[in-house]
Structure 1
Amino acid sequence: MVVTDPDTGELIRKDTGEVISDNALSQEKEWRAFGSEGDADRARTGAPVSLAFHDMGLSTVIGKESTDASGNQIDSATQMRMGRLRMWHSISHSHSPKERSLQQAFTMLSKIKDRLGLPDYVIEKAAYVYRKAQERGLIRGDSIGSVLAASIYTAVRQSGVLRTLDEISASIDVKPKQAGRSYRRIVTELDIKVPMIDHARYIIRIANRLELDERTKRKALELIEQARKKDLLAGRDPIGMAASILYLVNLEEKSYRTQADIAKAAGVTEVTVRNRSKELRNRLDMDSNSRSTLRGQKFPLLNESNTRKD
């Protein structure tokens, strides 16, 4: 029979006392505290490596414990000296402009994650795009906020998460025009393949906010498919087009949701909804003399006789 000495790690034959091995591996759980919380926050491993940290989570941190390894209290002079070392250690980690830029950008990225409710994989992808833009020198001449907004928008487009550039820009407090310029520059210089926008998802999103029924949603999806086949969606704001499609179907269904209601739910202006609706109706009528799939007839004219004043 073989027994294990937990203190020395030796395997000993019980009947003869012969030491079989003195290098046995411990099979017990190796719980340790990796943070400043101590025993209250014990884990098997530390935090995972992440691109969303300026040091990727691999930095060395001087702890704030007031006791040494033996559990004895550290005197006040030593604690003050360790505090100064901790301060200079923190400063030395961000001495270069590149490190300071990453630290500032990823601090903002962590806040935006909570504001927009973005998942972790989108944040990782956005951090990767930002690092690539920094390596290529694309941040020079732009603000950190605009490049970060462009990186997040690239990540959500690639991941299929519905977030507009206006929403992202508002959360960082930068102008959408600046973020759009940075986005075009990043996509062009880094040769990033961004998938096409799915207008149907924006229709469902706006319709859910307006609490429209399934019949209206289905007809709106049919109409957006007609517009796509006639190449009426290229170069247009997807949210504005989705809101206009819903407004046309809203008139057809006589649910009488005002332009203001639809524009507010979509986050666009009433002028956008009105102009895009007229353009869609005219283009659909000009391109085809056939009847619309909605109720087998053309759309009603957008004039005072069949629309309510907002």
Structure 2
Amino acid sequence: MTSAYPNEYDIRCDLDACQTYPIITDSERGEMFCGGCGSVLVQRMEDAAYGERGHSWEEFSSRSRTGPGTSLAMNDRGLSTMIGRNVDSSGNALSGRTRQTFNRLRVWDQRSRSRSVSNLGKALIQLNAMGIKLGVPEPAVEKAAYIYRKAVGEKLTRGRTVSSLIAASLYAACRESGIPRTLDDMARVSNVERRILSRDLRTMLRKLGMSLTQYDTSSFITKIANNLGLKEKTKRDAVDLLRRAEEIKITAGKNPVAQAAAALYIACMNNGEGISQKSFSREAGVSDVTVRNRATFLKKNLGL
């Protein structure tokens, strides 16, 4: 099928005699050629047209000409071949002999998968489940899958649990993406002791040659404040306190979560919100003494 193509891409023939002729598009061959001399101007043109419109998810899925995008968070990256069940492409039932043949093919397809591929699939399922529980966005989960694949390639799974390495990979991805999630959060959702998780994280970072960036302390303020239902003014005051503390360089080497909790505690007292130190320590995952000491330290150095 050919049609006159509106010259939106500034494609034209070089011959002066052809300047008045339209550009013809052959959608079947994927070519654009001059309507005057017939010279082919574009070859292997991509079809940018949309498929048929669907008014429901079922119609859209059945009429769509493309599948989901590839992702490292899938063991086959979303490019697996599925052997269907008992019907052909037209929806007609298969004969008995053909069904037996495809059943054997399906069994051998399952058996032909190596143990490492099977273990990787189970690990990535667990990774996606942890990401959902912690509310981690999909790009960070995919980055965690990439880190875990590198760890598997370095044979770090020997002597270590899959849950611990998955949690360590997700924590490293959150650190690189600036998503405020602590080791305690990872240990809770993965059912791994924090001590073991911290040890495996250090080993993984050393073997893979990774270095994690420091968390922005203010990123934990929003998380803690939202959980406690604090006012927006309290959040802004706490961010301002941390900014002043960073300017005089008294935040280095301190627990960022504890500093965020202490800044929020001071801001709450200044704004008349009666939230106890116990509440802040529970949300931050630190002790009451830590929150109190951090708050005293900030008050002393900021002249409050």
Q: Does 1:47 align with 2:64?
A: no
Deviations 1:90-147 (A, max 9, x none): 2212x23x22321121111222232223222112111110011111122222111111
In 2, the alpha carbon distance for the partners of 1:254 and 1:261 equals 16
- Mapping 1:185-200, distance limit 5 Å: 185-200=203-218
Q: 2:82 matched to which residue of 1?
A: 61
Q: Does 1:92 align with 2:137?
A: no
1:231 is displaced (CA, Å) by: 4.7
1:284 is displaced (CA, Å) by: 5.5
- Mapping 1:258-273, distance limit 5 Å: 258-264=276-282, 266-269=283-286, 272-273=287-288
Gaps of 5+ in 2: 4-27, 30-44, 53-57
Q: Does 1:277 align with 2:298?
A: no
In 2, the alpha carbon distance for the partners of 1:256 and 1:56 equals 50
Aligned CA distance change for structure 1 residues 275 and 26 (closer, same or farther; 3 Å): closer
Q: 1:76 matched to which residue of 2?
A: 96
Q: 2:147 matched to which residue of 1?
A: 129
Contact 1:241 1:276 in 2 (8 A): yes
SS of 2:157's equivalent in the other structure is: coil
In 2, the alpha carbon distance for the partners of 1:154 and 1:123 equals 10
SS of 2:70's equivalent in the other structure is: coil
Q: 1:149 matched to which residue of 2?
A: 167
Aligned CA distance change for structure 1 residues 235 and 142 (closer, same or farther; 3 Å): farther
1:257 is displaced (CA, Å) by: 1.2
SS of 2:112's equivalent in the other structure is: helix
Aligned CA distance change for structure 1 residues 281 and 72 (closer, same or farther; 3 Å): closer
Letter in 1 for 2:131: K
Gaps of 5+ in 1: 4-8, 11-24, 32-36, 293-297, 299-310
* Farther-moved stretch of structure 1 (127-136 vs 39-48): 39-48
In 1, the alpha carbon distance for the partners of 2:136 and 2:149 equals 19
The number of aligned residues is 260
In 1, the alpha carbon distance for the partners of 2:164 and 2:61 equals 40
Letter in 1 for 2:140: V
SS of 1:51's equivalent in the other structure is: coil
Contact 1:157 1:194 in 2 (8 A): yes
In 1, the alpha carbon distance for the partners of 2:143 and 2:46 equals 39
Letter in 2 for 1:281: T
* TM-score of the aligned structures, taking structure 2 as reference length: 0.72
In 2, the alpha carbon distance for the partners of 1:226 and 1:39 equals 53
1:230 is displaced (CA, Å) by: 5.2
Q: 2:36 matched to which residue of 1?
A: none
1:221 is displaced (CA, Å) by: 2.2
Q: 1:17 matched to which residue of 2?
A: none
1:67 is displaced (CA, Å) by: 3.2
- Mapping 1:210-225, distance limit 5 Å: 210-225=228-243
In 2, the alpha carbon distance for the partners of 1:204 and 1:226 equals 18
In 2, the alpha carbon distance for the partners of 1:116 and 1:150 equals 14
In 2, the alpha carbon distance for the partners of 1:2 and 1:126 equals 48
The RMSD of aligned alpha carbons is 3.4
1:280 is displaced (CA, Å) by: 4.5
Letter in 2 for 1:268: G
Letter in 1 for 2:241: L
In 2, the alpha carbon distance for the partners of 1:82 and 1:183 equals 45
- Mapping 1:228-243, distance limit 5 Å: 228-229=246-247, 231-243=249-261
In 1, the alpha carbon distance for the partners of 2:75 and 2:173 equals 18
In 1, the alpha carbon distance for the partners of 2:234 and 2:106 equals 62
SS of 1:49's equivalent in the other structure is: coil
- Mapping 1:2-41, distance limit 5 Å: 41=62
In 2, the alpha carbon distance for the partners of 1:212 and 1:2 equals 65
* Farther-moved stretch of structure 1 (176-185 vs 252-261): 252-261
Deviations 1:154-183 (A, max 9, x none): 111111222222222322222222222222
Contact 2:140 2:173 in 1 (8 A): yes
In 2, the alpha carbon distance for the partners of 1:158 and 1:197 equals 9
1:229 is displaced (CA, Å) by: 4.5
1:249 is displaced (CA, Å) by: 3.1
Aligned CA distance change for structure 1 residues 166 and 244 (closer, same or farther; 3 Å): same
